[in-house]
Every structure is written in structure tokens, then in C-alpha cells.
Amino acid sequence: MEIHTNIPLKNFTTMKLGGNARFMTEVRTPEEAVAAFRNAKAQSLPVFILGGGSNVIAQDAGFNGLIIRMRIPGFEVINDDLNSTTIKVGAGEDWDAVVKRTVDMRLSGIEAMSAIPGTAGAAPVQNVGAYGQEIADVLESLIAYDTQTDNFVTLLNEACEFSYRQSIFRSSQIGRYIIVSITIKLSKNLPQPPFYEALQTYLDQHDVHIFTQEIIRNAVIDIRTNKLPDPKLLPNTGSFFKNAIVEDWQLTDLKANFPDIPTYDMGDGRFKVPTGWLIEQSGLKGKVLHGIKIHDKNSLVLINQSASGYRDLANARDEIIDAVRNKFKIQIEQEPLEI
């Protein structure tokens, strides 16, 4: 395990911004992850776990500690029965490669989460999801190093306290656990309609009436390719804002003023409002603020067109948040974590 010094974080995050990390290392086994953490702790250094860098924003000051790049591999079928297959996946595995492998095995449960960048270990952190599926639906458990107790622990699904783009790993227990593997349980049944609205619309438009895991995966990839820019070509973090969640009483007020507002019933009197729509209706679609462009195909996406640093991004973000709040009285939230 090699420790590197003064590493530019912009080279390891898809928004291509940020200062240097004081130290950086890659880990390929759970034991290496523990050793790296203990070494940093002995020197009173903060630690940040980095996967693919697609959902992380680095600040201009950089990180005065140790960045641990998660590269633990693994893909093992640990249970197989008539209806389902349970798979243990290393935290460093590329998420889309995992999805493709399960689709090739004709398993259902994560095919709609195709083409999401990042690592498998990062998926539970923000409860990754897309087109009606999320990791909370299939995660049985995960293994993590508990930095407080200095032990490996197994956390069941319920212990992760999943909600929309949220978990204990980015709320009440942020920084406590280093996830080294996840265990997911997938179905052997074919995907069943009706699907998430945007996906269903695509299938209807393309006259698709037979649904397999591969067909759903290909459809999602096509949708995402057309609405999300490739971060290798245009620096971005994918969806920069979470979709807004409002209570039923808020929705009543909103519909009185904006009768065409799109919503998705989440149950329990809560409704999801597409934040991309809110930003577009605020007149910001395609605009460039402080070198940051609001994508003209999907206003949830912010592209680093010519920003000189994190401050430009923060200023653009705050102006977008203010514009939406002033028009709709809704406070939208940033999705990527910050170093």
C-alpha cells in the first residue's frame, strides 16, 4: 500500500475542481482499509473515503488528511434458490459493471440503475436510485469497518435507515463506517410494468412490449445518454440537486399557483417534485453562472464550463437555490458530498 502526497483532487472527482489532498492511498482489501485508517488516526489526520469521485465536490482548500480510494474487488454468489440470487459485492467494484453482470445473469432489481457512475460501496451511502429502483430495495446487508469500535460489523438493511437519497452514512453516522462489501438479493422474475413514468414513456414511444432485464437496461442507458453529459467530456456530478420532497399541504398551495407542476406520490402524505422542472421554470435552463452551466437537456445537472474553483460552483449553486426558493418557496438541496 503506497501513500502519495499532495495529490490534486480535481483529477479524482468528475467536477474537476478542488485543491490538493495531503495524502492519498488505494486499498484493495478490507485489511488495507483498516491499516490505512489506523495509520491516519495515529497521526491525528482526518480520513475521507473516495469511490469513483462522481458524487463528491472538492473545495479549493483541498483536504488536509488522508483520502482512501476504495478499490476492494469481489463478486460472489452466496445463495441461489428458485426465485432469487444473493450476491456479495466488493465495495470497490464499478457499479455499472455490477449491474451489467447481474443483467447478464437475468436477475432483476438493479437494471434500472444502469449507467450510474461510481462504486458499489458508495451506493448505500446516498441510497442510490433511478427510474423507480433504489439500493434500499435490494440490499440485504453490508460489511463495514466501524471506526469507533475498531471492528468489522454487519449492518442489516434496517440499520442503514434508508430514505430518499439518504442513509446513516451521510447523516447521523457520517464518517463512522468504512463500507467494504454489500450483499444484494435479486429476483429471477422478469421486470414487470408499469415502470417509472419517464421509463414507461420511453418504452411506449419505442413500441416495446416485451420486458427483459436487458431491454430495461438498454432503455435506461439510452435515456441517460441523451439527457446526462459524459463527465469525461463535460465535467459534472450527474444530478447536482436532490428532487424536492413536499408535504400534501404544500402541494395544495403549489398547485393553486402552478397547476401543471409534476409530482410523484411517495405515500405518507409526501410528494416528490422534480427539481429539474423547478429550476427550468425559474428561467435558468441553459444559463451560465460563474462558469457553471445549467445543462440545457436536464436542469438538475451542473456542468463545469469554465469555473476557476469551488467558490464559483458554490456561488452558482446558491443562486439557483435562491431562485427556486423565491419562485416556489421550496428549499432544494445539493446531492454531492463535499470534501
Identify the active-site residue in 108, 114, 134, 165: 165
Neighbours of 265 (CB within 10 A): 11
181 is known as an active-site residue: no
User: Residue 89 contacts by C-beta under 8 Å, 6 or more apart in sequence?
Assistant: 74, 75, 76, 98, 120, 181, 182, 183, 184
Catalytic position from the list 26, 111, 134, 335: 335
Residue of 239, 282, 299, 317 marked active site: 239
At how many degrees (to 10) do helices 95-104 and 213-227 cross? Answer: 150
Q: Does 335 participate in catalysis according to the annotation?
A: yes
Question: Reduced to 3 states, what is the DSSP secondary structure of residue 112?
Answer: helix
Q: Could you give the angle at the alpha carbon of 255 between the alpha carbons of 253 and 259, nearest 5°?
A: 155
Edge to edge, the sheet with strand 288-289 lists 236-239, 301-304, 292-294, 288-289
pTM: 0.93
The whole-angstrom separation of Cα 43 and Cα 28 is: 22
197 has catalytic annotation: no
**Domains, in order of start, for the chain:** 4-70 (3.30.43.10), 75-187 (3.30.465.10), 236-338 (3.90.78.10)
CB 70 within 8 A of CB 49: yes
Note down pLDDT in tens along the chain; length 339 residues.
899 999 999 999 999 999 999 999 999 999 999 999 999 999 999 999 999 999 999 999 999 999 999 999 999 999 999 999 999 999 999 999 999 999 999 999 999 999 999 999 999 999 999 999 999 999 999 999 999 999 999 999 999 999 989 999 999 999 999 999 999 999 999 999 999 999 999 999 999 999 999 999 999 999 999 989 999 899 999 999 999 999 999 999 999 999 999 998 988 899 999 999 999 999 999 999 999 999 999 999 999 999 999 999 999 999 999 999 999 999 999 999 999
**Do residues 231 and 14 lie in contact, with contact meaning Cβ atoms separated by under 8 Å?**
yes
